[in-house]
Structure 1
């Protein structure tokens, strides 16, 4: 890959899942992806689908705040709005090989979701 190829793939993945087309987003993910998520490791595309799919399905809107990348790596910083949280900031690092995301690290602020859960009687 050359130039900003990884950034192009990462942006296409982000635009697909944040735009409501999770199946399209998964086309950019390698079958053996390794994802480092706040809740722990997510291994393989089917586990990623089970982990990310429900969240992507409840996202009402996103704002891409910044995107950086080179030939092999990309970083996206964004904000999400869901029915329970108006502002849920997150970031993702992607390592891309042969046009597919093979490794991902997801970082997001869990506090707004924890506050919303507590205010609705959850633990």
Structure 2
């Protein structure tokens, strides 16, 4: 493994889901992934697909703001535009094991999405 193996995998995952290729992104996810999300704990690839797939599907554009990592850990900071929220900044920490994302922590501000659901400006 290279010194940036985790970063390489995390970037490939990000580029796939943000580029409209969610199935390709899922190839980089471990079957027993543990995802810590603002909505709660998501365990297993199928549960993760059900959680992340709808968000990936509504993303209109993304921009990667920063990416850091080593052999095991990676951190990505990005912005996503959706039909409901024109600017949704987020961050993800990835732990890589056996060439796949074994653990993921997603951090984002839910308030703009809650306000959009209520028909209010952020």
- Taking the aligned partners of 1:37 and 1:115, their CA distance within structure 2 comes to 19
1:52 is aligned to: 52
Equivalent pairs, count: 120
TM-score between both structures, scaled by the size of structure 1: 0.95
**CA RMSD across the alignment:** 0.8
Q: Please show how residues 1-123 of structure 1 align to structure 2 within 5 Å.
A: 1-119=1-119
TM-superposed CA distance for 1:86, in Å, is: 0.2
Question: Matches of 1:24 and 1:110 in 2, distance apart?
Answer: 26
Q: Which runs of no fewer than 5 residues in structure 1 stay unpaired?
A: none
1:43-80 Cα offsets, whole Å, 9 max, x none, are 00000000000110000000100000001000000000
> How far apart are residue 2 of structure 1 and its match?
2.9
User: Partner of 2:25: helix, strand, or coil?
Assistant: helix
Unaligned runs of 5+ in 2: none
Moved over 3 A (4+): none
Give the secondary structure class of the aligned counterpart of 2:2: coil
